[in-house]
Structure 1
Amino acid sequence: MTDAPTVVPITDVVLETRGLTKSFRGFTAVRDLDFTVRRGTIHALIGPNGAGKTTVFNLLTKFLAPTSGHILHDGVDITAASPAAIARRGIGRSFQISATFPHLTALENVRVALQRRTPGRFHFWRPESTLAALNDRALALLAEVGLEARAQEPAGTLPYGAKKALEIATTLALDPDVLLLDEPLAGMGREDVARTAALIRRTAQKENGRRTVVMVEHNLGVVADLSDRITVLQRGEILAEGSYADIAADRAVREAYMGTGHA
């Protein structure tokens, strides 16, 4: 039997996997993954469709249980932790499909998220006046993602880019130290891409320092502009890691991800 990893002091490594593997009835989606994320960086996880990127996110946030291997946060083994415990540790996540309450306003969506951090938790059956104390913070978060003018609009009526921004605002309401963004630019037009990329850059900033952002993204222009480090996956394994210049110069990456003829 393999011994559990030794707990190590907090370092600049905020998130780490050791030998992480996930198999589904004979198909191995992630294989023996040793993945390290440095604190305060924007780290992109890229690769062709089916490379295992979203599966890695599901493992990190415990929506999936690993077949084998370990996950560490701040040097603490969190492999057996529940999704709720992962969130309480300060690891937040957005999804490919926007996860908001469509019939609530943008303001109400953020307030629901803010209640997660308040004593007594959720206040669904209490008068509206009891939530007034959360309005200022909710409006500030909406302003942070450029949605203050849409605060009273139902989330279901917002344009696609605005829905993604709202989801980021609700995730930020939990004040995560590590933010996982799963294809935040998917399906967006050029203007929304530029706006959301700028939002991701701002999101990486906190009052007390930098927030760690890990993103799965196919837009290589945005990846090049935002990322401090890039990990390329292929068939659930790490093909290459480094800066964008390192990745772009790697022949194996060009063949697997960009196509042989690309520079």
Structure 2
Amino acid sequence: MTTEERGTGSAGVALEAVGLTKEFKGFVAVNNVSLKVEKGTIHALIGPNGAGKTTCFNLLTKFLQPTRGKITYAGRDITRLAPAEIARLGMVRSFQISAVFADLTVLQNVRIALQRTRGESYDFWRSEKNLTRFDDEARSYVAEVGLSEFLNHRAAELSYGRKRALEIATTLALDPKMLLLDEPMAGMAQEDVERISTLIRRIGETRTILMVEHNLSVVADLSDRITVLARGEILAEGNYAEISKNPEVIDAYIGAGHE
């Protein structure tokens, strides 16, 4: 679905980086990167191995501090904020804040995330009666990611793709306005890729998403806009039709065997 079809083309900027640079002892991993993620869109960050996309993603999600540059979220300067601080502002990185506890059920995992959003600690020793007040809301997030039939299954019993869906459910329980997904399809079988793609598309109808992803068919299917990195710099930006025809992108990325 295009940005125009989603009706979000003039909704404003959710996340913006200006002149983002990261040096490691003289090595420039990310060099003067500037990009904008529009509200209500799915924006992909791609590039060949060594392009600097992981470093860039870690800078945007505040797991690294930039050497130079500025990052704003919803118009607020977050350049020096910690990940926990930006999570409280509504920008949440999935698959790291949303840890899954293997020995707990699907319901219990989401319930724990809800405890956190209510300012409560992860108190496993609390009475079951005290915790069940979160059950209805937890069930709604479980349903949103298509795991209702696995509600009482231990997380360890789930397939890899369904564990990823559970991680997204625990992230959604944090009530984010923007999700940042780090290679959500990594290591998945094709049937799981299709399931999680459908899930991301549905979530993207009401939230902004930035994702790093290697699977170009997924990028083509989901993304409103794509930023291509190479050697730590932006090589190209646009929709899939535009970047897939760009000679520099074909030479540096698509032509390098990334199908």
Normalising to structure 2: TM-score of the pair? 0.90
SS at match of 1:116: helix
Partner of 2:249: 253
The amino acid across from 1:171 in the alignment is T
2:148 pairs with 1:148: yes
Mark the CA change 1:83 to 1:47 in structure 2 (over 3 Å): closer, same or farther: same
Cα displacement string for residues 225-253 of structure 1 (whole angstroms, at most 9, x for unaligned residues):
11110100111110000010100110000
Distance 1:62 1:56 in 2: 10
Q: Secondary structure at the match of 1:146?
A: coil
1:17–1:70 CA contact under 8 A, matched in 2: yes
Q: Which sections of structure 2, spanning at least 5 residues, go unmatched? A: 1-10
CA distance in 2 between partners of 1:169 and 1:45 (Å): 23
* 1:221 aligned partner: 217
Report the 3-state secondary structure (helix = DSSP H, G, I; strand = E; otherwise coil) of the residue aligned with 2:226. strand
The correspondence for 2:231, drawn from 235, 242, 246, is 235
Distance (Å, rounded) in 1 between the aligned partners of 2:53 and 2:126: 41
In the alignment, the residues of structure 2 paired with residue 250 and residue 58 of structure 1 have an alpha-carbon distance, to the nearest angstrom, of: 27
Is this contact kept in 2: 1:15–1:72, CA < 8 A?
yes
For residues 122 and 96 of structure 2, the distance between their equivalents in structure 1, rounded to whole angstroms, comes to 26
Q: Counterparts of 1:261 and 1:124 in 2: how far apart (Å)?
A: 48
When residues 132 and 98 of structure 1 are mapped into structure 2, their CA distance, relative to the original with a 3 A threshold, is closer
Q: CA RMSD in A?
A: 2.0
| Distance apart, 1:260 and its partner CA | 6.7
Range with bigger deviation, 244-253 or 134-143: 134-143
- Indicate whether 1:48 and 2:44 are aligned: no
Are 1:73 and 2:73 an aligned pair?
A: yes
Equivalent AA in structure 2 for residue 255 of structure 1:
D
Inter-partner Cα distance in structure 2 for 1:95 and 1:55:
16
Task: Return the alpha-carbon distance in structure 2 between the equivalents of residues 138 and 160 of structure 1.
Answer: 21
Q: Is the 8 A contact 1:96 1:183 kept in 2?
A: no
Contact kept? 1:254, 1:262, Cα under 8 Å: no
CA distance in 2, matches of 1:66, 1:181: 20
SS at 2:79's partner residue?
coil
CA contact (8 A) 2:98 2:171 kept: no
Q: Which residue in the other structure is 1:4 paired with?
A: none
In structure 1, how many angstroms separate the alpha carbons of the residues matched to 2:32 and 2:258?
29
Measured against aligned partners, the alpha-carbon deviations of 1:170-194 in whole angstroms (never above 9, x if no partner) come to 1111111110111111111111111
| 1:262–1:136 distance in 2 versus 1, CA, 3 Å | closer
Deviation per CA, 1:58-100: give whole Å up to 9, x if none.
1122111111111101111111111111100100112389841
Question: 1:74-153 residue pairs with structure 2 within 5 A?
Answer: 74-95=74-95, 99-153=99-153
Instruction: Indicate the larger mover: 25-34 or 252-261.
Output: 252-261
- Residue 80 of structure 2 aligns with an amino acid whose one-letter code is A
* Mapped partners of 2:96, 2:80: distance in 1: 25
Residue in 2 that maps onto 1:58: 58
Q: In 2, are the aligned partners of 1:51 and 1:233 still within 8 Å (CA)? A: yes
Would the aligned equivalents of 2:15 and 2:73 in 1 still touch at CA under 8 Å?
yes
| Structure 1 length-normalised TM | 0.89
Tell me how many residue pairs correspond in the alignment: 249
Distance 1:12 1:115 in 2: 32
CA distance in 2, matches of 1:254, 1:46: 13
Q: What amino acid sits opposite 1:27 in the alignment?
A: F
The residue matched to 1:259 in structure 2 has which SS? Answer: helix
Distance in 1 (alpha carbons) for counterparts of 2:57 and 2:257 = 30
Aligned to 2:194: 194
Q: Identity percentage over the alignment?
A: 61
Give the aligned partner of residue 36 of structure 2.
Answer: 36
